[in-house]
Amino acid sequence: MPLNTEIIRDGQILNVKWTETHPAAMVAAIAFETDESPFNYFSPNQGLDYPNEPQGIDYRNIVDLCNYGLIGSLPLENGQYTLKQDHYFVGPSGEVKFKAGDILKLYRSTKE
């Protein structure tokens, strides 16, 4: 079952060039806003002026963050989460910026 993702800003689905960095950044942004286990240890790197400076995401982070078990533990309501604050990431494929109020959708589907 594939993982479907969407970023909705101001009621419109953003047309972004999807890369491996996007789903990892989506999971990290939600985790940064969550105090519940297992996410209560997720936070931007110390000394980083986050979100003014980007949180780095490397390939190891991508593999860890894009784990279906971890994604299934996110506090999603009907497969979506509305961000409370801005987020800024940089990964192997470039920058990803989210704004407070963005709706992040992560859900799995099957072909019929």
Going residue by residue through the chain, which has 112 residues, state the pLDDT in tens, using 9 for 90 and above: 678 899 999 999 999 888 899 999 999 999 999 988 778 778 899 999 999 999 999 999 999 999 888 898 899 999 999 999 999 999 999 999 999 999 999 988 766 6
pLDDT the model gives residue 112:
65
pLDDT the model gives residue 108:
81
The residue assigned the tokens 């890369």 is: 19
- Count of domains for the chain: 1
Boundaries of domain holding 49? 3-108
Query: Model-level pTM greater than 0.85?
Result: yes
CA nearest 21: which of 72, 74, 90, 76? 90
pLDDT the model gives residue 47:
93
* Residue type at 18 in one-letter notation: W
